[in-house]
Structure 1
Amino acid sequence: MLQLSATFDLQQDVVSSIFKKEATVGIIKEYSGIVDTRILNIERDGGVLYSWKGVTGTTRIGKYDPNTRQNKLLYTFDKQVCVSSCSLNKEETLLAVSLAQRTRTEERLRPVSKCLTLLIEIHPINNTKVLKAVDCRVRVQFLHPDTERDSVLESHLLLVAEDGYVEQLHVMLVRQEGYRVVMLNPECLARDRVAEEFSWVQWDSQTQRLFYLTHREKAVLKCVQFCHDRNCETLFELVLEVPSNPFSCMRFVNLGFDHHQETQHEREEMRMVVITNNTGSMCVCYSQPACVNQEITYTIVLVHRGCSKTFSVALDGTPSPCSTDLLPLFIPIGYYVVVYLSGHFLHCINTRQQELLCHSLFLSGVDAELGVLGSDGVVLSLPESSLLDLNTGRMYTVDLNPSFLMDLLHCSHRRPDAQRLAALHCLLLYMGPNAALELKIIDWICDNVMPFDTFDQIQEFILASLYRIIYKKCLSLDEVLPYSSVFEKKKVPEALDQVPGVTCTTELHAEPEFKGKARSLQGYWEELQWSTEKMKYFEAVPNPRYRASQNLPDWTKLLTTLKSKNKKASNYLRHIEENTKQVLLMVDSWNLDQKVVLLFQEEDSQQRALIGLMVDKLREHLNRHLPRLGKKKIDVLVVNYVAKLLELIRRMLESVWLKYKLGPLVLCL
């Protein structure tokens, strides 16, 4: 189901590279004893920070650049130290490091802090400043804001402490002698308190957002957005229905990898992650370990939909009591969230169309295996659809596998209709646009015309393909445009809304509170806020989805108008014809090279009138329900939508004509 592509291998990309480099300069002896090579952090640019120890008693920190595939030595400690957290500023002039300090037997009488946090000048190597010397773990993370300037003489560093607080340090820099970059006033670094009193925290490097969970009277998820102008603000709060104390110790997500944490911190009481999509969706995913009841439960809070879905899956075999091995991974892939439990199941959840289980794909047994990952490894889900196997030091990008999905459609043994429908939507929505894949699906439809009692595969192909061209435009289009023919049925078949061994409960969720500046921001926050507010409107409006069947009365009137000589009727027909010309102009630019079936010709007045009417009614529908999009954007969207509809019909007919070697005159019959 999932296709894993290796993007980084610690042994091949780092260790072997160090051997080769040092062999050329004749100091291979030191590196022949390379030990304890570990990944520390992954920065926004994809750079991998790592450390290693040599036999001479040093600890070194380096960076692997995925673009150049080169390694760069950043800093060397003259003794062996335990690096628990590390981050590099965007300009690669400052290195922040947290060291886990272990007291030797003979030094136990001397007080030594458990964590020492340092800020080091490395361009060139110069001063070192102690930022923290405390008895709790501290994670460090530089901000990497979007900026067009190549060199910025200001860096911002987050210190995230296990005691439940986050500080932001503002480090002013100065350039000396043309190349030396040093701290302007290292003794007086400005700092702000960003957050406090929390038990879970997640950093999103790509969006520069910090999520954290507080527990006072109730569990509240908050989000701090960092901007390029050094400002930050809490923009979002959401009450969550989670256990009263889900974390007995601090949980860090996407804040590097601490290989020296105490053993009592290794066991997770609950796994939680926030997944956002640039189209304006937000999902809060959490799960607790499976216990002796042989059932695992996980919840997906669809913030943009105002509801949460809790799934309970019966597991095969008897799991060990509350084993951390039985905590699923939550992997974002587009607007799907993949819930993966090694050796048990893989659940690909559609977070935009959550009404029916048949639009999410559930697999178990052999179908759910990811053979590349070690069964006994510690696998972490990273942003940007990536996985990290900490035991092997390998990173993978994760994608849906089109070959596997096509096999689900073609497989000879009986597959549930819901599984095939979900596979079809995954292929069309996530993989597209892909002309070769579309032709394979059309070929499958030709070989399996009308075998399903629960859904019409031709309608599903058309509607899902149409949805693909509009879903990135606006999240609320999900509610007003057709997505599946299943919604046209008076009663959804049980086979499409049930998965054996899986139960699902849906609950309305507390409305998020958008704070201060979020109301004036554009982009993601504007879209999320508007989507959550729009849900109230859609709940109050019956059947907000566009249905072509609603146009039948207007089509009957238009047929009468075509025969009329009334002047007003002529004006209306000219308007309809203008709509048609815009669509056909678009279709002509998309034509296949080989025109087998002659469609949409000038002399077919009724066909042209129907095309123009479709444009008119769809435009009217969107202007009524989503006026915020604006008339110009709606006009473009509608023309593209109808043009794509006609092109899909032409493509299906041409494929049939070629497949069965039909002559050009057959259509005339």
Structure 2
Amino acid sequence: MHYTYTEKYTSEQYNNLENNYDSLRVLNVERNGNVIYTYKDKGNTFFGVYDCQTRQNELLYSFETNLQVISCSVNRERTLLAVSLVQSTEEGRRNELQPGSKCLTLLVEIHPINNVKVLKAVDSYIWVQFLYPHVDNHPLSEQRLLLISEEKYIEQFHIQVIQEDGNKVVIRNPGHLPRDRVAEDFVWAQWDMLEQRLYYIDLKKSRSILKCIQFSVPENFTLMFEAPLDISLNDSGLKLVNFGCDYLQDQEKLSTHPTLCVFSNKTGILCVCYSPEFDPRKQITYSVFYFHKGYRKTFTPALGSVDSHVAKGLTFLNLDYYVAVCLPGHFFHLLDIQHPDLICHSLFMTGKNATIDLLPPSPLQSLPGALVLDGSSGTLSRALLDLPHLLQLLWESPLDCEKMALLHCALACGRHSPLLETQVIQWISENISTCHSFDLIQEILVASSYWSIQPERSNADELLPHSSVLSWNTDIPGLTFVTEEIALPLMKQVHSLTDDWAKLNHSLDCVKYAKPHLHYNNSVIRREWNNLVSEENRGKRRSAAYVRNILDNANKVISNLEARRLEPRLAPLFQEEDRHQRLLMGLMVSELRDHLLGHLQGVDKKELEQMVLDYISKLLDLICSILEASWRKHELHSWTLHFDRRGSAAEFAVFHLMARILEATNSLFLPLPPGFHTLHMALGVQCLPLHNLLHHIDDGVLLLTETAVTRLMKDLDNTERNEKLKFSIIARLPLLLGQKISQLWDHPMSSSIISRNHVKRLLQDHKKQPRESVIDKTSFRVEFLPLNYFIDILTAIESSNPALYACEGHDNVDAKFVEEAALKHTTMLLGL
């Protein structure tokens, strides 16, 4: 697996520095993405900031001495600089700053350069971090600074600032800075710069308890949850994660310690990745605690080639919806942390496919926003999955589980790239029969539609299906894993939760109270749609307002779809009314809208309506795109809808693909683009022998639309084969449609069909009564007594019930027509 590294912060990137300094090191990354760095020149120690927005550097402060820097942070306005350091000579010997101290923590006024205040002078290391609350761009009157001590406590300083002489910012009452004790007696801590959260672990009776503190405005800080972790941690030392580059810790020693990382995102995900002490001579395992799902998975991967270099520990990288777990040269795992229920949604690779470009062998720090910090070189990079390489693996992978994982990864990471989706659809159209464990068409329809509405913004993650697969029991090569239930986090703050905290709390409630899956499925509208179609075929009508509302929903979907379509379609779709598909489309809009309204709280109705339209439009567009990919492949660009010619091999291939699309959508009960069945029928007439064609119609593979049958009657002449085809088609139509279509075919067989339907309708409620004929037989041209008697009965029924002719489709059909049709048909059959 390759990585794309962008925004790589090395000495070459700082373009307004006079020289490239080998001593340049990244110290910290602040919430706004700005990078704090230091470098040395001519015995001086300089501190600078790289603004990621303007891509310019700014010198913050300098000391006229050679210093060894532990930690550094700058406030949002760049008026205060906090720095923790030790003073050392060129030979590396430490000079005591004052008796008993080895670390000095300073607070510097830098706008303009003014006072320097000593915050700590202690014999233990201190790390510093300014808080960046979500506020407007107005300067804050109070700045808050965290101090993390090697002695296992964290303090928060409240720093009041005032402006003097215009823009001069100074500390108010620097001799007395209020402070709070945030945490103490912890063995591990991690800082989330984007969400301004502190995760830490303390040991209670040999149990590891994970806690989270949220810093926000106007609250000071809030303990959000406590969660027990079934892991082995000891009290031998302190391990910090994401508090800047820690150059003082012994990397060789740390590489053998347990690795622990917490990952979260705005959809309410909370997971902990844990790897015990690393020993390449032993079996390697790691665990992932999916707290938002209520279980943990412990993975034991097979290692790659023994000739590969051995890295100094596992690396966990945060890639938003995924966590990458890699041991360079041995394996690369891409874990779907948003949807971990199905193991096939995660990618597990070994050998040559697990190579990672430019990834150093030393452990890396994973920062939010997919940033990666290499502590050994002080290099900050942004890690992105290389989508072209994902597609290459998708084309080459022989395993269904890898195809599933790669498909989902490509759709999730490239959902804003139309070109990538086009390439995925092309792959599907050419590999339609290569997967045996799942249906490729179903999977892209469900997954791509899910990602198209960006569930992290809509809070619809648990309401819309993300996969067509419900279970996966096939083993993953090179991997064993165990799933265990875990104790859920105890939320300490449950009132007025916002955003991802509310989503996490909702997920925990679903696990805690074993709430059923709320994923929408189309099965609930199957019965209503079948009833509507059946009623229309029998000539019955529902409430006009009800049907009109459903069809209006369908019109909105089609208008929404066409408004986002820039290029003309290759396949002749959306060129007819196709009432049945519009009914299904409109019912889906109503049902999906009601489903989301019933479970989403606080979502604007117009926004929800648009979400529903976008979702169904995406479904239809995907079906069109899959069909057009095959259309383009087989060069059917100038194809027009005709029934009167034989089909080619290319048209048969498209017909087969349409049959697969129909099979996929039928089982999910999804609507099809209007015109799909007409096009499919046209290709079937051209490509299939008559008996196969009729078999496909009887099995429901081909559906007889009014447009298709009308074109068939007009396009085909009356050869023997075509007569059989037309008769067979008309005989399979619903009564009302059959009567309407029969009148388009001027043929004795058509008249016979019309007569049969007319007689059936007249006699279905007729009760035989003894009576004498009152009809003047001299009016008939042929003396054929059985027929005369039958026509006598029909005429009597017609004359006694004129209302029978009010139904559409019965114009000019009466007993006289039946008599003439019977005689013509008999003559034809006898060859007279």
TM-score by structure 1 length? 0.88
Q: Is the 8 A contact 2:82 2:107 kept in 1?
A: yes
Of 63, 75, 91, the residue aligned with 1:89 is 75
| Secondary structure of 2:116 counterpart | strand
Of 414, 435, 449, the residue aligned with 2:418 is 435
Change (3 A) 1:131 1:423: same
| Secondary structure of 2:369 counterpart | coil
Find the aligned partners of 1:168 and 1:361 in 2 and give their Cα distance.
42
Of 418, 423, 436, the residue aligned with 2:406 is 423
User: What is the one-letter code of the residue matched to 1:118?
Assistant: L
Q: Which stretches in structure 2 are left out of the alignment for 5+ residues?
A: 643-678, 683-832
Find the aligned partners of 1:453 and 1:499 in 2 and give their Cα distance.
15
Of 152, 176, 180, the residue aligned with 2:140 is 152
Q: Is the 8 A contact 1:114 1:136 kept in 2?
A: yes
Correspondence list, 1:600-619, <5 A: 600-601=574-575, 603-619=577-593
Pick 1 or 2: higher relative contact order, CA cutoff 8 A, min separation 6.
Answer: 1
| Secondary structure of 2:154 counterpart | strand
| Cα deviation, residue 185, structure 1 | 0.5
Correspondence list, 1:300-449, <5 A: 300-316=288-304, 325-375=311-361, 377-411=362-396, 415-449=398-432
User: What is the one-letter code of the residue matched to 1:523?
Assistant: D
1:168 and 2:124 are equivalent in the alignment: no
Change (3 A) 1:623 1:42: closer
| Secondary structure of 1:112 counterpart | coil
Find the aligned partners of 1:42 and 1:372 in 2 and give their Cα distance.
21
Correspondence list, 1:500-539, <5 A: 500-516=477-493, 518-536=494-512, 539=514
Residue 286 of structure 1 is matched in structure 2 by 274
TM-score by structure 2 length? 0.72
Find the aligned partners of 1:554 and 1:18 in 2 and give their Cα distance.
71
Find the aligned partners of 2:334 and 2:22 in 1 and give their Cα distance.
39
Between structure 1 and structure 2, the one with the greater Rg is 2
Change (3 A) 1:105 1:649: closer
Change (3 A) 1:508 1:631: farther
Q: Is the 8 A contact 2:267 2:459 kept in 1?
A: no
Residue 567 of structure 2 is matched in structure 1 by 593
Aligned positions, number: 640
Correspondence list, 1:629-644, <5 A: 634-644=608-618
Alpha-carbon deviations, 1:486-520, whole Å to 9, x = none?
A: 22xxx7451xxx2222112122221222223x421
Residue 99 of structure 1 is matched in structure 2 by 85
| Cα deviation, residue 575, structure 1 | 2.9
User: What is the one-letter code of the residue matched to 1:399?
Assistant: L
| Secondary structure of 1:612 counterpart | helix
Q: Is the 8 A contact 1:380 1:389 kept in 2?
A: yes
| Cα deviation, residue 532, structure 1 | 1.6
Q: Is the 8 A contact 2:257 2:276 kept in 1?
A: yes
1:559 and 2:533 are equivalent in the alignment: yes
| Secondary structure of 2:398 counterpart | coil
Residue 99 of structure 2 is matched in structure 1 by 111
Change (3 A) 1:113 1:318: farther
User: What is the one-letter code of the residue matched to 2:247?
Assistant: H
Residue 26 of structure 1 is matched in structure 2 by none
Q: Is the 8 A contact 1:222 1:234 kept in 2?
A: yes
Which range is displaced more, 90-99 or 571-580? 571-580
Residue 584 of structure 1 is matched in structure 2 by 558
Find the aligned partners of 1:236 and 1:385 in 2 and give their Cα distance.
25
Correspondence list, 1:164-313, <5 A: 164-217=152-205, 218-229=207-218, 231-243=220-232, 245-246=233-234, 248-261=236-249, 266-291=254-279, 294-313=282-301
Q: Is the 8 A contact 1:38 1:52 kept in 2?
A: yes
Find the aligned partners of 1:616 and 1:193 in 2 and give their Cα distance.
54
1:650 and 2:624 are equivalent in the alignment: yes
| Cα deviation, residue 416, structure 1 | 1.2
Change (3 A) 1:535 1:639: farther
Q: Is the 8 A contact 1:64 1:71 kept in 2?
A: yes
Q: Is the 8 A contact 1:428 1:468 kept in 2?
A: yes
Residue 547 of structure 1 is matched in structure 2 by 521
Q: Is the 8 A contact 1:300 1:310 kept in 2?
A: yes
| Cα deviation, residue 385, structure 1 | 0.3
Change (3 A) 1:405 1:65: same
Change (3 A) 1:392 1:339: same
Which range is displaced more, 274-283 or 543-552? 543-552
Change (3 A) 1:334 1:479: same
Find the aligned partners of 2:171 and 2:356 in 1 and give their Cα distance.
47
Pairwise CA RMSD: 2.9
Q: Is the 8 A contact 1:93 1:123 kept in 2?
A: yes
User: What is the one-letter code of the residue matched to 1:333?
Assistant: L
User: What is the one-letter code of the residue matched to 2:507?
Assistant: S
Find the aligned partners of 2:94 and 2:203 in 1 and give their Cα distance.
41
User: What is the one-letter code of the residue matched to 1:608?
Assistant: R
Q: Is the 8 A contact 1:49 1:63 kept in 2?
A: yes
Change (3 A) 1:273 1:163: same
Change (3 A) 1:213 1:35: same
Which range is displaced more, 452-461 or 181-190? 452-461
Q: Which stretches in structure 1 are left out of the alignment for 5+ residues?
A: 21-30
Find the aligned partners of 1:424 and 1:567 in 2 and give their Cα distance.
45
| Cα deviation, residue 110, structure 1 | 8.1
Percent of aligned positions that are identical = 39
Of 26, 31, 44, the residue aligned with 1:44 is 31
Residue 69 of structure 1 is matched in structure 2 by 55
Write 1 or 2 for the structure with the bigger share of strand. Answer: 1
Find the aligned partners of 1:415 and 1:654 in 2 and give their Cα distance.
26
Find the aligned partners of 1:200 and 1:35 in 2 and give their Cα distance.
32
1:664 and 2:640 are equivalent in the alignment: yes
Change (3 A) 1:60 1:548: same
